[in-house]
Structure 1
Amino acid sequence: MQFTVTFFLLVSIIVSLISFLFAGWLYQWVKNRPSSNKRIAEVGTLIKNGANTFLTKEYTVLAKFAGVAAILILVFLPTPIWKGNVLDNIVMALAYLFGTVFSAIAGVIGIRIATIANVKTAEAAQNGIKPSFMSGFRGGAVMGMAVVGSTLLGVTLVMLITNNTTALLGFSFGASSLALFAKAGGGIFTKTADISADLVGKVELGIPEDDPRNPAVIADNVGDNVGDVAGMGADLFDSNVASMAAALVIAASLDKAAGGTVNTSTVFCYAAIGLLASIIGVATARMGKHGNPTKALNSSTYVTTALFGVLTALATWMFNFQWRIWGASAVGLLVGVIIGIASDYFTDDTKKPVHNVAKASETGPAFTILSGISYGFLSTLPAMIGIAISALAAYKLCDPIGPGYAMYGIAMAAVGMLSIVGMIISNDAYGPIVDNARGLAEMGDLGDDVLEITDSLDSAGNTVKAVTKGFAIGAAGLTVIALLGAFISQVNDSAVVLGLEQITGFDIMNPIVFFGLLIGASIPAVFSAMLMLGVDRNAQRMVSEIHRQFREILGLKEGKEGVVPEYDKCIEIATFGALKELIPAGLVTIIITVLVGFVGGVQAIGGYLCGNIISGLLLALFMSNAGGLWDNSKKYIESGNNGGKGSDAHKAAVVGDTVGDPFKDTAGPSINTQITVVSLVSSLMSTLFLTLSIFH
């Protein structure tokens, strides 16, 4: 059975609209859950207002950046406006702005539902773990459905309107550039507040985690929303768009050579099925009265995975697609699950690495840090092997089809790995919602039984978050390898037009390639350092503010009735610091990419991207897993092991968690987006690098 690509574009639009309708139903379901506690409503409103204020200020800054970037794109891309077709430049600039708007909407939707779901989840815990879990999970699923629906709809509309894959790269760059800054800004905000609240509250004063006396506690809860919800939504929106864009650039090139649209149709068909599988997976997610929340989250992921495998096989048979391409996407998905399981082993509080770090904490914080770093580095091997095997398997599977199909196979492995991203986002957004719910339960004084339930949900969120981050990093790895293929396609298309020699790969013995390789490898480390120094500077300012309040507000430390800390001062410090620090790190990576391209041309950029991909993946995996390990080691001690709360081991574990916070929630996940951004900048500027570099 053969259909034109228009059929698959229309199917993609219909599936996107179904996901929006389902997201709307989930939103109403969560909103209609009962809530009557005045104190929780009051704190929930403070969190909601703080998150909305930060997001408004952040998007105002980013709108200015996007405006300047759009003008530069209009003038210079895909070719300088005075040399090329003016319409192409206008389309590219509009596609870029379209990408930034879609990415921003992903963040807004996330904040809107998360600040409702946290209140509902906290109060539902009074009726048991099942209703509380369902409120948290379905709150996260609103984000999952809306973000992936937006991805598929955005990519489909750009292709339908422009029929131009270069414009699609512009759309992807818009999504990536906004995600880069949103993730960095949100990450700096959330970890500033988290570190400050923990160090002064837990270590210095020995007060509980979400004690309302702590001036940073509301800022910490706001941070969960702006960093782990809005930032993460933009991040995974960007990864999903980039994987589809890379696959479509290569598919269009192959279709042009062969005549027909079968490869482009395959990408849209598989992406639509992935979203459909996620919708069914979310709709069937259930938990018994005394069930295990981690098991419930993981089982819905496995249901979605199996559905995708079966439905894509059926579609491949029905529409006469290439079985080897299906094999490549199945390999990608399978390896994604394996990377998730490996991340789980190193971060789950029922496994040995967490127990060993907790034990090491008894001897002091130096051993907490040393053991955590060691396990963090160890955890990178399974994931790196997984990415390597999936890339190699996809390459070898698809190579016999014909020239260019090997790289298309890798791109489809990335599409396969990200096919269930709707479920991944749902699980990921669940984490900060239940984390906030735990804080609200404590501040609303709902009792120990409720706290026990919210702790159990929070622990599951942390465990699953490590799995989803491993998944996201693995998918980013395959996506950027595919983007390397898209870069070669873009260069060769320009080379044909200009009558220049085409490129087939990059020889690392070529000094220009090696020059790019070394610089590219150093960028993720510089980028991470800039973000973490931002957290460091900001947290020091907030710690001083907390000390001032405890010193100057009489009765605050003792918890006298009617004495309330100045929460807004801490929110202001986190907001101001995050906005000040979020642009420089991202801008440095883009500027260095452009400089390397104009110095060494496309060969240097090829090396630069390879170095950036490898060191970026290594650092992202290490930081995400080490951070998750420290966090769960602290929670393991807090649950009564190795001395329990208030012990020396607990204080050492809090120090470990403080180091791990910017690792796992600021720098680690932002590296994915940094790699994608430099890959897209390289592809978009490939013609300029081909013609205007110092060394060809």
Structure 2
Amino acid sequence: MDLSVLFFQIVAIIIALLAFGEAFWLYKWVVSRPSSNPRISEVGKLIQNGAKTFLSKEYKVLTRFCGIAAVIILILLPSPIWDGNPYNNILMSLSYLFGTIFSGIAGKIGITIATIANIKSAEASTKGIKPSFMAGFRGGAVMGMAVVGSSLLGVTLVLLLTNNTTALLGFSFGASSLALFAKAGGGIFTKTADISADLVGKVELGIPEDDPRNPAVIADNVGDNVGDVAGMGADLFDSNVASMAAALVMAVSLDRVKGGSLNASMVFCYAAIGLLASIIGVATARMGKNGSPTKALNSSTYVTTVIFAILTAVATYAFHFEWRIWIASAIGLSVGVIIGIASDYFTDDSKKPVHMVAKASESGPAFTILSGISYGFMSCLPAMAGIAVSALAAYKVCEPLGDGYAMFGISMAAVGMLSIVGMIISNDAYGPIVDNARGLVEMGNLGDEALEITDSLDSAGNTVKAITKGFAIGAAGLTVIALLGAFISEVNNAAIELGKETITGFDIMNPVVFFGLLIGAAIPAVFSAMLMLGVERNAQRMVAEIHRQFKEIIGLKEGKEGVIPEYDKCIEIATDGSLKELIPAGLFAIVTTLLVGFIGGVQAIGGFLTGNIVSGLLLALFMSNSGGLWDNTKKYVESGHHGGKGSDTHKSAVVGDTVGDPFKDTAGPSINTQITVVSLVASLMSTLFLTMSLFG
């Protein structure tokens, strides 16, 4: 192995270990915050136990699935075990399992800290907004540092130990497949509970959001952790690994042609600097005594962005990297920020779209839905245009460097966009932590002032969460375009070995390509429908259970002292239902990819991936932004506008939020993982599709 790439791999490992060190320090800091309220401690324990129970049951199901997948990979990949070198098949299977384990650990770390930080943030709210904010943010930052440290360490170790980029794709596929099911399962759980609690509590009975009388309230708080913490952590872990894997596949291929290891060195260097920038950003994040939580979260993101841009420019100069590739990564990073700002405009409750949807809600829920859908579709253009412009600009900037560099430029734009992912995850995990804290404040009767503080923190969390989702989807867009380039590289490597013709692109006038294009475009829609139908079926069961408890438990509706609902029944319904629903949607996407590949070969798969990317990005952006818009419309009305809580406008806004919940927290963010999974399946199966297809 070239000494220069080895140097940067060692640097990457050191910075990953630094991130773990910061995560440990932040964890100890959060745990050391005072907490003495017995009621909050009791409810916090219920949330913690519910989250742990769900995660252990989910991981048991996924362990069986991943075990079967590992055996299939062992037999078939990278080529059938009876045709090729069994060592390569063993390596691929182990890399896949390694990816699933790392992804699973990321989710576990997130759940552990989030269910501690919510208690600390709730109790700190009695001392002011600053200590409550810091407990929530630093709790989220534990996950941010751990997830990105794990992804950088995992990718580096796989390539260092195997020196095999196909094994790296296996590692990425392991991370993606676990993330797909973790995000889907967590998303179904959280929205089952959220919808049920809102419909029965707010709409039917007119009781507050986190009223302890509501049997679904603990399941709702558990859902915030398993969906928005564990699920989103696995999702962004997968995106980060996939972007590095795609870039490294192309970098190693380019280095092989040109000699040396400059391109692979650059990928490791930029990824390591991105994590270092996030470490500094998290360490310096602060909020004034009476400051704005939204401003504090956004300013730390901008600080991280500037640090990354400066340090990568210095590294490019010092190590004689190509400036054009630095420009490509800077374009990706800039567009990521622009996509985040666009998502913020359409979802922030201080901006016009939320106010217009709140106004429309005065005329009934139909107008809430119509206006929300309309603004959701409008919000897609800035992000889609941003992804298109960044891909085109990165391609054109790097094209003069020679064959293969144009697609490598796009992959480096994805690496650039995801360079600050440590800060993005920290901000994202902050949201559900303070959402839980708000519920704990209400259930612990800490007073109106504490409730006002946690409402403010929760609102900031919703706004920033919409930004991070837009950012994650944008990054996934660039990553899967880069994975399309990695797929072409894998196909051409196999074609050269087999003496077949190589490919440079896909002609949509070719009926085989067009066949794949149409099928690929339909997959995200059906995948989303399967997840949302899972939420709907599960929520109906939970609503029936809530009605039963209010009817059969004497004194529950009146809130008589000592009368406690059966919280565990609702947690059980959400857990069992989500585990039952999570596998079919993921399998549908994977099996369809295999069918298209074996029918139409690599040309059909090229069309399939293109259609899947375009349709998937559009739907993911639409659902994430419209869901965030409806959520903040409800909060805007609840803050006293257009009639406030209990009004007909409020009931309409709750219905909008109910529709938006599975949009933004189940289907929307799961689609980018689905796109990544099918792209990786295509790359890993490229040799088989090249040699064993009906019309290829």
State TM-score, norm by structure 1. 1.00
> Which digits, 9 at most, give the CA deviation of each residue in 1:151-181, with x for residues without a partner?
0000000000000000000000000000000
Counterpart residue number, 1:279: 279
Counterpart residue number, 2:387: 387
Q: What secondary structure is seen at the aligned counterpart in 2 of 1:90?
A: helix
Q: What secondary structure is seen at the aligned counterpart in 2 of 1:541?
A: helix
Q: Distance in 1 between matches of 2:372 and 2:4?
A: 53
Counterpart residue number, 2:227: 227
Counterpart residue number, 1:349: 349
Q: Distance in 1 between matches of 2:65 and 2:273?
A: 35
Counterpart residue number, 1:98: 98
Cα RMSD for the two superposed structures:
0.5
**Amino acid in the other structure paired with 2:151:** T
Spell out the pairing of 1:418-433 with structure 2 (5 A cutoff): 418-433=418-433
Instruction: Determine whether 1:25 maps to 2:25.
Output: yes
Counterpart residue number, 1:552: 552
Counterpart residue number, 1:497: 497
Q: Distance in 1 between matches of 2:95 and 2:614?
A: 29
**Amino acid in the other structure paired with 1:418:** L
> Which digits, 9 at most, give the CA deviation of each residue in 1:531-563, with x for residues without a partner?
000000000000000000000000000000000
Q: What secondary structure is seen at the aligned counterpart in 2 of 1:362?
A: helix
Q: Distance in 2 between matches of 1:671 and 1:491?
A: 25
Q: Distance in 2 between matches of 1:591 and 1:658?
A: 31
**Amino acid in the other structure paired with 2:162:** T
Instruction: Determine whether 1:327 maps to 2:327.
Output: yes
Q: What secondary structure is seen at the aligned counterpart in 2 of 1:625?
A: helix
Counterpart residue number, 1:598: 598
Instruction: Determine whether 1:52 maps to 2:52.
Output: yes
Counterpart residue number, 2:127: 127
Q: For the Cα contact (< 8 Å) 1:334–1:417, is it kept in 2?
A: yes
Q: CA deviation at 1:279?
A: 0.3
Q: CA deviation at 1:580?
A: 0.2
Q: What secondary structure is seen at the aligned counterpart in 1 of 2:643?
A: coil
Q: Distance in 2 between matches of 1:560 and 1:543?
A: 22
Q: Give the number of aligned pairs.
A: 695
Q: Distance in 2 between matches of 1:580 and 1:287?
A: 43
**Amino acid in the other structure paired with 2:358:** A
**Amino acid in the other structure paired with 1:661:** D
> Which digits, 9 at most, give the CA deviation of each residue in 1:485-509, with x for residues without a partner?
0000000000000000000000000
Q: CA deviation at 1:632?
A: 0.1
Q: Distance in 2 between matches of 1:503 and 1:251?
A: 18
Spell out the pairing of 1:107-146 with structure 2 (5 A cutoff): 107-146=107-146
Counterpart residue number, 2:616: 616
**Amino acid in the other structure paired with 1:160:** L
Counterpart residue number, 1:269: 269
Q: Distance in 2 between matches of 1:13 and 1:386?
A: 32
Q: Distance in 2 between matches of 1:511 and 1:569?
A: 53
Counterpart residue number, 2:522: 522
Q: For the Cα contact (< 8 Å) 1:527–1:589, is it kept in 2?
A: yes
Aligned identity (percent) is: 81
Q: What secondary structure is seen at the aligned counterpart in 1 of 2:35?
A: coil
Counterpart residue number, 2:646: 646
Q: Distance in 2 between matches of 1:46 and 1:64?
A: 28
Counterpart residue number, 1:164: 164
Q: Distance in 2 between matches of 1:4 and 1:206?
A: 65
**Amino acid in the other structure paired with 2:202:** K
Q: What secondary structure is seen at the aligned counterpart in 2 of 1:473?
A: helix
Instruction: Determine whether 1:469 maps to 2:474.
Output: no
Q: Distance in 2 between matches of 1:66 and 1:576?
A: 19
Counterpart residue number, 1:685: 685
Q: Distance in 1 between matches of 2:287 and 2:591?
A: 49
Spell out the pairing of 1:535-546 with structure 2 (5 A cutoff): 535-546=535-546
Counterpart residue number, 1:340: 340
Counterpart residue number, 1:4: 4
**Amino acid in the other structure paired with 2:43:** V
Q: Distance in 2 between matches of 1:127 and 1:447?
A: 12
Q: Distance in 1 between matches of 2:548 and 2:471?
A: 42
**Amino acid in the other structure paired with 1:503:** I
Q: Distance in 1 between matches of 2:538 and 2:220?
A: 13
**Amino acid in the other structure paired with 2:218:** I
Counterpart residue number, 1:196: 196
Q: For the Cα contact (< 8 Å) 1:145–1:422, is it kept in 2?
A: yes
Instruction: Determine whether 1:436 maps to 2:462.
Output: no
Q: Distance in 1 between matches of 2:177 and 2:403?
A: 32
**Amino acid in the other structure paired with 2:405:** Y
Counterpart residue number, 2:15: 15
Q: CA deviation at 1:250?
A: 0.4
Q: Distance in 2 between matches of 1:550 and 1:650?
A: 23
**Amino acid in the other structure paired with 1:114:** A
Counterpart residue number, 1:308: 308
Counterpart residue number, 2:401: 401
**Amino acid in the other structure paired with 1:125:** S
Q: For the Cα contact (< 8 Å) 1:109–1:146, is it kept in 2?
A: yes
Stretches of structure 1 that go unaligned for 5 or more consecutive residues are none
Q: Distance in 1 between matches of 2:233 and 2:469?
A: 12
Spell out the pairing of 1:170-185 with structure 2 (5 A cutoff): 170-185=170-185
Q: Distance in 2 between matches of 1:190 and 1:646?
A: 24
Q: CA deviation at 1:362?
A: 0.4
Q: Distance in 2 between matches of 1:605 and 1:438?
A: 47
Counterpart residue number, 1:241: 241
Q: For the Cα contact (< 8 Å) 1:625–1:664, is it kept in 2?
A: yes
Q: For the Cα contact (< 8 Å) 1:512–1:604, is it kept in 2?
A: yes
Q: CA deviation at 1:4?
A: 1.1
Counterpart residue number, 2:79: 79
Q: Distance in 2 between matches of 1:187 and 1:354?
A: 24
Instruction: Determine whether 1:291 maps to 2:274.
Output: no
Q: For the Cα contact (< 8 Å) 1:121–1:437, is it kept in 2?
A: yes
**Amino acid in the other structure paired with 2:487:** F
Counterpart residue number, 2:507: 507
Q: CA deviation at 1:3?
A: 6.0
| Runs of 4+ off more than 2 Å | none
**Amino acid in the other structure paired with 2:403:** P
**Amino acid in the other structure paired with 1:468:** T
Spell out the pairing of 1:357-372 with structure 2 (5 A cutoff): 357-372=357-372
**Amino acid in the other structure paired with 1:138:** R
Q: Distance in 2 between matches of 1:281 and 1:316?
A: 21
Q: Distance in 2 between matches of 1:163 and 1:321?
A: 22
Q: What secondary structure is seen at the aligned counterpart in 2 of 1:693?
A: coil
Q: CA deviation at 1:130?
A: 0.3
Q: Distance in 1 between matches of 2:471 and 2:591?
A: 29
Q: What secondary structure is seen at the aligned counterpart in 2 of 1:642?
A: helix
Q: Distance in 1 between matches of 2:490 and 2:255?
A: 15
Stretches of structure 2 that go unaligned for 5 or more consecutive residues are none
Counterpart residue number, 1:318: 318
Q: For the Cα contact (< 8 Å) 1:3–1:319, is it kept in 2?
A: no
**Amino acid in the other structure paired with 2:137:** F
**Amino acid in the other structure paired with 1:677:** V
